[in-house]
Protein backbone atom coordinates (compact mmCIF):
# COMPACT_ATOMS: atom_id res chain seq x y z
CA UNK A 1 0.00 0.00 0.00
CA UNK A 2 1.22 3.49 -0.85
CA UNK A 3 1.09 5.89 2.11
CA UNK A 4 0.82 8.96 -0.10
CA UNK A 5 -1.64 11.75 0.51
CA UNK A 6 -4.77 11.65 -1.63
CA UNK A 7 -4.97 14.12 -4.50
CA UNK A 8 -7.48 16.25 -2.60
CA UNK A 9 -4.89 16.82 0.13
CA UNK A 10 -2.18 17.62 -2.40
CA UNK A 11 -4.53 20.08 -4.08
CA UNK A 12 -5.23 21.62 -0.67
CA UNK A 13 -1.49 22.11 -0.14
CA UNK A 14 -1.37 24.02 -3.43
CA UNK A 15 -4.47 26.05 -2.59
CA UNK A 16 -3.11 26.96 0.83
CA UNK A 17 0.26 27.87 -0.68
CA UNK A 18 -1.39 30.35 -3.07
CA UNK A 19 -3.74 31.76 -0.46
CA UNK A 20 -0.82 32.40 1.91
CA UNK A 21 1.15 34.00 -0.93
CA UNK A 22 -1.78 36.28 -1.74
CA UNK A 23 -2.16 37.37 1.88
CA UNK A 24 1.54 38.07 2.26
CA UNK A 25 1.91 40.16 -0.89
CA UNK A 26 -1.26 42.11 -0.14
CA UNK A 27 0.39 43.54 2.96
CA UNK A 28 3.56 44.73 1.19
CA UNK A 29 3.73 48.45 0.38
CA UNK A 30 3.60 49.00 -3.39
CA UNK A 31 6.82 51.00 -3.51
CA UNK A 32 9.03 48.23 -2.07
CA UNK A 33 10.60 45.68 -4.44
CA UNK A 34 12.72 43.54 -2.12
CA UNK A 35 9.73 42.03 -0.27
CA UNK A 36 8.00 41.17 -3.57
CA UNK A 37 11.12 39.41 -4.79
CA UNK A 38 11.44 37.56 -1.48
CA UNK A 39 7.83 36.40 -1.68
CA UNK A 40 8.29 35.25 -5.28
CA UNK A 41 11.31 33.23 -4.14
CA UNK A 42 9.35 31.82 -1.23
CA UNK A 43 6.53 30.79 -3.56
CA UNK A 44 9.00 28.96 -5.78
CA UNK A 45 10.63 27.23 -2.79
CA UNK A 46 7.30 26.07 -1.38
CA UNK A 47 6.21 24.86 -4.81
CA UNK A 48 9.44 22.86 -5.07
CA UNK A 49 8.66 21.28 -1.70
CA UNK A 50 5.28 20.10 -3.00
CA UNK A 51 7.04 18.81 -6.12
CA UNK A 52 9.50 16.83 -3.98
CA UNK A 53 6.65 15.45 -1.92
CA UNK A 54 4.84 14.28 -5.06
CA UNK A 55 8.08 12.72 -6.35
CA UNK A 56 8.42 10.78 -3.09
CA UNK A 57 4.76 9.77 -3.24
CA UNK A 58 4.97 8.25 -6.68
CA UNK A 59 8.37 6.65 -6.23
CA UNK A 60 6.92 3.32 -5.07
CA UNK A 61 3.58 3.60 -6.86
CA UNK A 62 3.02 0.81 -9.37
CA UNK A 63 -0.15 2.13 -11.02
CA UNK A 64 0.90 4.35 -13.93
CA UNK A 65 -2.51 6.06 -14.03
CA UNK A 66 -2.09 7.13 -10.40
CA UNK A 67 1.40 8.44 -11.12
CA UNK A 68 0.22 10.36 -14.18
CA UNK A 69 -2.67 11.78 -12.19
CA UNK A 70 -0.38 13.05 -9.43
CA UNK A 71 1.88 14.76 -11.99
CA UNK A 72 -1.18 16.23 -13.72
CA UNK A 73 -2.20 17.71 -10.37
CA UNK A 74 1.29 19.13 -9.96
CA UNK A 75 0.99 20.73 -13.42
CA UNK A 76 -2.27 22.32 -12.28
CA UNK A 77 -0.68 23.65 -9.09
CA UNK A 78 2.21 25.09 -11.14
CA UNK A 79 -0.31 26.72 -13.50
CA UNK A 80 -2.06 28.38 -10.58
CA UNK A 81 1.23 29.53 -9.06
CA UNK A 82 2.42 30.88 -12.41
CA UNK A 83 -0.84 32.77 -12.82
CA UNK A 84 -0.47 34.45 -9.42
CA UNK A 85 3.20 35.21 -9.97
CA UNK A 86 2.45 36.51 -13.46
CA UNK A 87 -0.02 38.99 -11.99
CA UNK A 88 2.62 40.09 -9.49
CA UNK A 89 5.18 40.49 -12.28
CA UNK A 90 2.79 42.59 -14.36
CA UNK A 91 1.92 44.87 -11.44
CA UNK A 92 5.54 45.30 -10.38
CA UNK A 93 7.71 44.70 -13.47
CA UNK A 94 10.64 46.56 -11.93
CA UNK A 95 10.84 44.10 -9.01
CA UNK A 96 12.29 41.10 -10.87
CA UNK A 97 9.63 38.53 -10.00
CA UNK A 98 9.55 37.45 -13.65
CA UNK A 99 12.72 35.37 -13.12
CA UNK A 100 10.80 33.26 -10.60
CA UNK A 101 7.91 33.07 -13.04
CA UNK A 102 10.23 31.48 -15.62
CA UNK A 103 11.50 28.97 -13.06
CA UNK A 104 7.94 27.96 -12.16
CA UNK A 105 7.19 27.47 -15.85
CA UNK A 106 10.29 25.25 -16.10
CA UNK A 107 9.05 23.18 -13.15
CA UNK A 108 5.63 22.95 -14.80
CA UNK A 109 7.22 21.65 -18.01
CA UNK A 110 9.13 19.03 -16.03
CA UNK A 111 5.94 17.88 -14.30
CA UNK A 112 4.11 17.75 -17.62
CA UNK A 113 6.87 15.57 -19.11
CA UNK A 114 6.59 13.22 -16.14
CA UNK A 115 2.82 13.11 -16.57
CA UNK A 116 3.16 12.19 -20.26
CA UNK A 117 5.80 9.55 -19.56
CA UNK A 118 3.44 7.80 -17.17
CA UNK A 119 0.25 8.18 -19.23
Give the pLDDT score at 3.
63
Distance CA 104, CA 82 (A): 6
pTM of the prediction? 0.89
Q: What is the pLDDT of residue 49?
A: 94
17, 68, 102 from 83: Cα distances, Å: 13, 22, 11
How far apart (Å, rounded) are the C-alpha atoms in residues 90 and 93? 5
C-alpha to C-alpha distance for 55 and 10, rounded to whole angstroms? 12
Question: For 74-103, what is each residue's pLDDT tens digit?
Answer: 999 999 999 988 888 777 778 877 788 889
Residue 66: C-alpha distances to residues 92, 107, 109, 111 (Å):
39, 20, 19, 14
pLDDT in tens, 2-46: 567 888 898 999 999 999 998 988 888 877 888 888 888 899 999
Amino acid sequence: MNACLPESDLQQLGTDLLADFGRRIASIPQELCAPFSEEAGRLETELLMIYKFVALCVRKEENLAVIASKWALMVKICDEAAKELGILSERHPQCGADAYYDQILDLRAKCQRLQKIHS
